[in-house]
Amino acid sequence: MPIRIQRNIALLSVVLFLGKMLAWYLTGSVTVLTDALESIVNMAAGFLGLFSVIIAARPRDTNHPYGHGKAEFLSSAVEGVLIFIAGIVIIYQAIHQLIVPHQLQKLDLGIFIIAGAGLINYFAGRYAEQQGKKSNSMVLVSAGNHLVADAYSTIAILIGLVLLLLTNNHWAWLDSAVALCFAVITKITGYKVLRRSVSGMMDEMDMGLLKEVIDVLQTSRKPHWVDLHNLRVIQYGSMLHVDAHMTLPWYYQVVDADKTIHELERLIKEHFHNQVELFIHIDSCMPYQCKLCALENCPERKEAFQHQVEWKIENVWADSKHGKNTTATDLS
């Protein structure tokens, strides 16, 4: 699915670029030219994204034990840089138009073409965002964000072109002013895409994703799951990697631990609907954890059960067993 969608986005970007170049040729507007330059970035990003999605879909191998998902981060980073460069080119063209102005033509036809391209960008972008979030594809999400931002920028471009048409080019400076505003929006979009890509390449923790995993496990928590700690969650393409330590009753056999791991994997897969790879280290419980263990009729209980520690980011992320230094707050 992500490959097909990204391929369609790449092909669509070519059609829209040709349409915008035609609009620029007819009008001579630097604002329309900046929109066309943005479409060049869309094309490059579209085909780079298609390449990275194909690479990311490959299964892991000896050289890439965690798979090829990080190819999506690299593609998004290149897209962010291209968007940023486009903003610089737009600023240059807008200033040049202010210094050396020229008469604009056929604005009505240009407005029609740009408006149509903007609508197509918006709906294609929203669809790409939705499918990207559903399939956990950063390339699709980035492409969708870019297309939607491009569509919003088109609104400002259209306002400027309509005003120029209504004033019969008496406000020629407005063409450059709109282009400069568009350049600012473009640079902000490029920064956001680049920032998100670098975060992924640096394995920056996605706190929203971590909390979601914790909530899934907390909601389906079993009495013998004494504690969960040292939890790490990383998303590479469509593959979700989960590392954690789980504390179980010390007298459990290997088959019991294996059953618990498969149960955790099932819960996460059912919620996220994607591939999941778990690395769970099983710890044995300690006597001081009896007060936190909800397992009934435990033959080795040393202390009466008081209350389970609710799993939160603060206590699940840390690399230490629960209970030894438990406070009243932890038990609330």
**pLDDT single digits (tens) 208-218:** 888 989 999 99
Question: What is the homologous superfamily of the domain 207-316 according to CATH?
Answer: Cation efflux protein, cytoplasmic domain (3.30.70.1350)
pTM of the predicted model as reported, rounded to 2 decimal places: 0.58
Euclidean distance between CA atoms 51 and 11, whole angstroms: 13
Average confidence score pLDDT of the chain: 80
Euclidean distance between CA atoms 288 and 279, whole angstroms: 26
Q: Say what the pLDDT of residue 27 is.
A: 81
HSE on the CB side for 282, CA within 13 Å?
Answer: 19
pLDDT at 326 over 60: no
Work out the pLDDT band at 329, boundaries 50, 70, 90. very low
Count of residues making up the chain: 332
The DSSP letter of residue 105 is -
- Residue tagged 């954690």 (tokens): 244
Domain ranges of the chain: 2-201, 207-316
In 3-state terms, what secondary structure has residue 264? helix
Work out the pLDDT band at 86, boundaries 50, 70, 90. confident
Residues with Cβ within 8 Å of residue 124, at least 6 apart in sequence = 8, 9, 12, 144, 147
Q: Do domains 2-201 and 207-316 have the same CATH topology?
A: no
- Residue tagged 């995993």 (tokens): 213
Q: In what order do the strands lie in the sheet with 239-248?
A: 227-236, 239-248, 275-284
Q: Say what the pLDDT of residue 169 is.
A: 62
pLDDT (tens digit per residue) in 133-187: 777 666 677 778 778 877 877 777 787 778 777 877 666 677 677 777 777 877 7
pLDDT at 301 over 80: yes
Euclidean distance between CA atoms 314 and 58, whole angstroms: 35
Q: Say what the pLDDT of residue 66 is.
A: 65
Q: What percent of the chain has pLDDT over 90?
A: 21
Euclidean distance between CA atoms 133 and 152, whole angstroms: 21
Mean pLDDT across 7-28: 85
pLDDT at 201 over 70: no
In 3-state terms, what secondary structure has residue 253? coil
pLDDT at 234 over 90: no
What is the CATH code of the structural domain delimited by 2-201?
A: 1.20.1510.10
Q: Say what the pLDDT of residue 327 is.
A: 46
Q: Say what the pLDDT of residue 332 is.
A: 41
Q: Report the run of H or E that residue 219 belongs to, with start and end.
A: helix 207-219
Q: Pick the more confident residue, 203 or 227.
A: 227
pLDDT (tens digit per residue) in 46-66: 787 777 667 766 777 777 766
Q: Say what the pLDDT of residue 330 is.
A: 45
